[in-house]
Amino acid sequence: MHKKNIFFYFGSHAHPYYEKIIKNMPKGMTCTSSVQDFRGKHVAFDRYGKIKSLLKRFIRFLFQKIGVPKVAFVKVVDDVDIIHSSQYLLFTNKPYVVDFEDISALTWYDYRILKKWHVKWIIKKMLSSKKCVGILPWTDAAKKSMLNSIPNSKIFESKIKIMYPGYVPKPIINRHNHKEIMFLFVGKVFYEKGGLDTILAFEKLVAKLKKTKNAPKVKLVVVSTIPKDIREKYANLSELTMSDLLPANEIDELYKKSDVFVMPTHFDTFGFVFIEAMSYGLPCIGVDNFSCPEIITNGKTGILVSNFVSRFDKKTFVPIINAGGAGSKEFIEACRHPHKKTVEDIYQAMLLLATNDDVRCEMSTNARNEVATGKFSIANQKKLLEEIYRLDKK
């Protein structure tokens, strides 16, 4: 029986998420990849040397400047049946599927390129082509961001299938013996990920519990690139531990010790860190914007809070700010001054999860189940990919 061969195209580097797809391919399928590992090393660098690598970077720079979508020219060997492209539109000799976290991923995460009419036309033509047999947004929010950005998108809408990422659950952890309730925030960029929102809410929680009889002890660990002034301002808050970015093995240990994960992000398209936390059985506190309501089921696997600062339009899901807030001083400034309602909502969520053991434990079980057997399970991902990788025969 012929084994179906999938070629993964990642451009110059691959998100670690794809490693889980490659290690958990559907039965009867094999794969090869355009990268040797998942730390950004491209095979073209080894095969053709630095000159070609630098040339590719220069071409990418030109594409961004003149307003060209994220495209690549990929020719693969005959035994490849279908190409899985990571956020690149392809000119290729084989049928391909393309996944993306939001529509701006196809325009170098620059919404200004996306606004150009010719860019929208190119994207529509390439997604409508016969070579493109599947369009795989990571979430329904990502799907909406595409449909609301590209005119006449109904011409390729039938090709769209939502592909939720799969994750491997961790062993069940008994948290009943914890002497204090530990909240964990992990985010590379402090303000844009909601780091200050989290600290302000926690400060309010500590003040409340100090006035409450028989209140539980609480702790917040913040792992981020924390500004010096924030470290100095909250140095005397003994319940708060601030840390620089840590290696993965140390983050894993923090997940095991924690009881609740918090990240009221203002710009993430898909927070893999939420699924990672849920795999350890942590209820999550996130925002009611873009894909968060699809990741966190409010009242079941965590709690959603109001968000008033986002790089996505709340109604259309179209990006209105570049990834990371680049090019918008107003966005960055807004992240530095959290909205009072957001802080209040986070505080109320923290208070509930700190003081109600039954709610917290039930959400913990539900969160892990969502990864073990639910929406974000490897089994669910395999089932979807098996269907997707047979699209070339339809």
pLDDT for 37 equals 55
Task: Answer whether residue 51 shows pLDDT above 90.
Answer: no
For the domain that residue 190 is a member of, what is the CATH number? 3.40.50.2000
pLDDT exceeds cutoff 70 at 6: yes
Supply the pLDDT for residue 49. Answer: 52
Query: Is residue 389 located within the same domain as residue 284?
Result: no
> Is 363's pLDDT higher than 70?
yes
Encode pLDDT of 293-305 as tens digits.
999 999 999 999 9
The Cα diameter of the chain in Å comes to 72
| Dist CA 265 CA 139 (whole Å) | 17
Range of the domain at 338: 180-372
Q: Indicate whether 384 belongs to any domain.
A: yes
Strands 302-305 and 71-74: unpaired
301 or 53: which leads in pLDDT? 301
Has residue 251 been placed in a domain? yes
Nearest to 167 by CA among 295, 299, 5: 295
Domain total for the chain?
A: 2
330/198 same-domain check: yes
In this prediction, residue 48 has a pLDDT band, given cuts at 50, 70 and 90, of very low
- Would residue 365 count as lying in a domain? yes
Question: What are the residues whose beta carbons fall under 8 Å from the beta carbon of 272, sequence distance 6 or more?
Answer: 17, 165
The answer to whether residues 326 and 263 belong to one domain is yes
- Cα(340)–Cα(207) distance, integer angstroms: 17
The confidence score (pLDDT) of residue 77 equals 82
Q: Are residues 186 and 255 in the same domain?
A: yes
Is there a domain that residue 100 lies in?
yes
Domain for residue 154, yes or no?
yes
Strand pairing class (240-243; 302-305): unpaired
Q: What is the pLDDT, as a whole number, of residue 267?
A: 87
- The least confident of 17-21, 127-131, 279-283 is 17-21
User: Rounded to an integer, what distance in angstroms lies between the CA atom of residue 220 and that of residue 238?
Assistant: 10
| CATH number for 124 | 3.40.50
Domain check: are 320 and 381 in the same one?
no
pLDDT at residue 325 above 50? Answer: yes
CB 30 within 8 A of CB 21: no
Shared-domain flag, residues 104 and 250: no
- 360 found inside a domain: yes
Residues 84, 61, single domain; the answer is: yes
* pLDDT tens-digit map of 84-123: 999 999 999 999 999 999 999 999 888 889 999 999 999 9
Q: Is residue 239 part of a domain?
A: yes
pLDDT in tens, 130-175: 999 999 999 999 999 999 999 999 999 999 999 999 999 999 999 9
Domain membership of residue 186 (yes or no) is: yes
Per DSSP (E only), the strands in 235-276 are 240-243, 260-262
Average pLDDT, the chain: 91
Which tens digit of pLDDT belongs to each residue from 182-237?
999 999 999 999 999 999 999 999 999 999 999 999 999 999 999 999 999 999 99
Residue 41 has pLDDT above 70, yes or no: no
